[in-house]
Amino acid sequence: MPSRRRSLTVLVAAAVLTAPLVTAQSAPAAPATAKPGHGGGSAPYLNAKLPVERRVDDLLGRMTLVEKIGQMTQAERAAVSADPSLIAQWNLGSVLSGGGSVPTPNTPEAWVEMVNQFQAQALSTRLHIPMIYGIDAVHGHGNVYGATIFPHNVGLGATRDPALVKKVGQATAEEVRATGIPWDFAPCICVSRDERWGRSYESFGEDPALVVSMETIIDGLQSKGILATTKHYAGDGDTRYNQAIADANVGKQWFEKQYTIDQGVTVTNRADFARIDLAPYVVAVNEHRPGSVMPSFSSVDWTEDGVGNPIKMHANRELITDVLKHQLGFDGFVISDWEGIHQIPDPTDPTNGGLTPYKVRTGVNAGIDMFMEPNTAKQFEDLLLAEVEAGRVSRARIDDAVRRILRVKFQLGLFEHPFASPNKVDQVGSAAHRALARQAAAESQVLLKNSGHLLPLRRDAKIYVAGRNADDIGNQTGGWTIAWQGASGDIVPGTTILEGIREVAPRAQVTYSADASAPMDGADVGVVVVGETPYAEGFGDVGGPECGFCTPAQLEPKSLSLQPGDKAVIDKVCSAIAKCVVLVVSGRPQVLTDQLGEIDALVASWLPGSEGAGVADVLFGRRPFTGRLPVTWPRDAAQVPINVGDHDYRPLYPYGWGLRTGHGGSKVDRARDQAQAAVLAGRARGDWAKLIADAEHALLSGDPGKAYALLTKVARH
């Protein structure tokens, strides 16, 4: 019941404080006598010794409507970099960097200088309110060259290691803070239910219980002074694949195609929505207290009232205000996604893809507090001002939004310490952080098949390495790395998997040929590293548009099956060398059932990040394989979507599957080992996959006894 008490306290406080704030709107605000960080002054809001709510009350009472609307507005770096004085002119509350939006040069020092320059403009305004800078650091500080790139969330979910994930959050926060940025648009606590979704790798997995267990990353981020953002509220990973759009995309130019599942519609009943999509937010808000929440681009269509009337999440007052803020007691602020309210349908102007008065008031009245308007900040401010003056948005709603924003800024200490120091830039890409990323990469590896106990490999073996993803750090880091969609090639410092193999096994005789054209004579084992090229939202949708502005390698159609070239390399190596290991570097499962017979050992490597030596660590036994599938690995593409809990559940590998090369572990670990051994020996029941997946869900739901009982049923007796 503590969440209800906190929720009630927040609501009562808001109700008590709103009345005088509305009347203060018409009074001229008294200027402060000192700037933040300059030793205080006569204004109570500048006194760090006062309670936060007292400071918020004082500052809010001094602000004009125009200043309040400015606090609700966020512009993109590129929109103000040529003329930073726009930050002061527009009273901006925030600035962001989108994916790939970086200063020149892209160094930690340049980031600090840029953010401080923007901050100086914010502090030059009448009330000296600091701005807050935000960025997508979704697997490390990926926009910054030289930063540590951690495995994407799907790989972190495979580790089943909440303590490690918290450390990843802390390390990410230290690097983000070192560049002068206090706000991270992460983590994504979505539950990915369809691997055709181009953002599925941003999810920790398909099971709400797994996602909840990984929310320690929020604690890690915020323990180091970073404002975390849980996203995308809610249901973004549960949207329905649109086959009609996929069919219509065939034969079109990439720029004519539409997304097939991203930003789509979650068609569901309220009970399933609460159980699957909302559940991670309940725990996040009650136990981890993120300072901000970002709504999803997607819509929800309740089946209780018939399908066909979806509501955009950015317009959903019920879910944002009634559920998130009131029922769950969320007391941070809600930030829109990139031009999120632009997608709200305007019944009076249905073809307008930009801003309209209707979209602005609908988003504000739904409960969004700050608006990510990258290139339309001033237009948004003007429209919102007109809507308030016309009475279509209440001043109380404005005050509530600004109160939430100011509260977070005070809590972060921005008024006392608005400027960043360049003294900690050496934390970016530090040896300690890279060692942690290497550990995370190792723990994320999932051993799916290991015939004859081929793995771990001997460190003095003659090894033939092939495949396009063996020596491509861009492919192994994936999307949201340097650029929005990522990029193939040598884009960040780090070690590729091939370099990791040579580092971990220096006595091995390693031959490398990406296309397997080099002679294979004398090789003891082949290691083939295949998979996907980078993508992010929209352009990663199966059947969706290719990324026409990305590297040539990224132009390939997105699929749940390996590309023809990858299949050919597997066939060539595995048919010529007696022992063959295949590593799949990808953001989602890749169907390779037809080739499984020629593969001796199969590893799901996910997107391991910048430290490829972590992959080599488990290949050669420096660390054991311990990872387990965070999502179901389908037998064929026609099975998708397929998830734990499905009635008809017969995948190639179930959720929770993962062979171990170490020993020991818990009673449940040993029972899982025995269950998987029974499957591999042909001694398992027909419903073995369902039993293993259900056991994993039970374990993560806090019932190890049930998990053990289910696993012991796998073997036929």
Helix (H, G, I), strand (E, B) or coil at 196: coil
**Alpha carbon separation from 190 to 186, 200, 505, 544 (Å, rounded):** 11, 9, 38, 21
Q: Specify the pairing of strand 299-302 against strand 311-312.
A: antiparallel
Query: How many of the other CB atoms lie within 10 Å of CB of 683?
Result: 13
Q: How many helices (H) and strands (E) does the chain have?
A: 25, 17
d(CA 546, CA 560): 15
d(CA 235, CA 16): 34
First vs last C-alpha separation in the chain: 46
d(CA 434, CA 436): 5
Q: What is the DSSP letter of 649?
A: -
d(CA 83, CA 118): 10
Please name which of 51, 132, 143 lies closest in space to residue 333, comparing C-alpha atoms: 132
Please name which of 194, 179, 106 lies closest in space to residue 137, comparing C-alpha atoms: 179
Residue holding tokens 């990410």? Answer: 172
CB neighbour burial string for 623-644, b if at least 16 within 10 angstroms, e if fewer: bbbbbbbbbbbbbeeebbbbbb
Active site members: 337, 537
Residue holding tokens 């959050």? Answer: 169
* Residues in Cβ contact with 262 at an 8 Å cutoff, skipping those fewer than 6 apart: 197, 198, 199, 239, 297, 537, 538, 540, 541, 544
Q: What is the DSSP letter of 313?
A: G
Please name which of 320, 350, 318 lies closest in space to residue 337, comparing C-alpha atoms: 320
CA torsion angle 225 231 233 236 (round to 10): -170
Plot region of 37 (φ>0 → left; ψ -120 to 50 → alpha; else → beta): left
Sign for the CA dihedral angle at 420, 424, 429, 432 comes to negative
User: Read out DSSP for 382-419?
Assistant: HHHHHHHHTTSS-HHHHHHHHHHHHHHHHHTTTTT--S
Residue holding tokens 């488990």? Answer: 618
Rounded to the nearest angstrom, the gap between the alpha carbon of residue 678 and the centroid of all alpha carbons in its chain is 36
One-letter amino acid at 457 equals L
* 3-class SS shares of the chain: helix, strand, coil, % to 5: 45, 10, 45
Q: Are the CB atoms for 367 and 335 separated by under 8 Å?
A: no
**Alpha carbon separation from 387 to 71, 123, 382, 502, 530 (Å, rounded):** 16, 27, 9, 63, 54
One-letter amino acid at 631 equals V
Cis peptide before 345 (omega within 30 of 0): no
d(CA 538, CA 547): 9
d(CA 154, CA 531): 15
d(CA 337, CA 23): 32
Helix (H, G, I), strand (E, B) or coil at 361: helix
